[in-house]
Amino acid sequence: MASSSNSPCAACKFLRRKCIPECVFAPYFPPDQPQKFANVHKVFGASNVTKLLNELHPHQREDAVNSLAYEADMRLRDPVYGCVGVISLLQHQLRQLQMDLSCAKSELSKYQNVGIAGHGLIAAAAAANTQMGIGLGRDQFFAREQQMMMRNYDSEMARLGVNGAYDASLLAMNVSASIGPLGQFPQPRAGGDERRTIGPS
């Protein structure tokens, strides 16, 4: 129907005809948008638009008019390509964005692989350091035990030198008990510095 009894639609006003209640243009070309119909008429022609709208269902006509108006506007801005130029530009931008996204995913995958390898190396180094620390602690423990046993041995010898009352067999058992565990760990020998066994005086 017409927009109002006193104001014809933009199409009828442009065509300088009376806007009837059954006007097919009235719902889609209001009086306050005269340029919209002018562009559509210039590109497609009023008779072609009328024929197209009459062939469509009422619920499809609004989308068809909006599409015709957009294409007409683009054709007037770019007579060679029209809306095809805009579509081509958007497709090019879409392909470029897809390529950028693919490159970004590839770079991210590389960094993730490097990170996994780095964590593996760090874990291996930590395990090696832990094992070395355990071994070092064991060596330090036996070194302290050796030092304590040697001090006990020197103390026994000093007591023997002062009192002279220890039996040789008792001294041998004490020394053997003190340094016996050291037999399984070979000790370096310094030339000319070997301890001599002192017999009973």
N-to-C CA span, the chain: 141
The DSSP code for 183 is G
The DSSP code for 102 is H
Q: Distance between CA 7 and CA 18 in Å, rounded?
A: 10
Whole-structure pTM value = 0.47
CB 74 within 8 A of CB 83: yes
pLDDT in tens, 17-57: 898 888 999 999 999 999 999 999 999 999 999 999 999 99
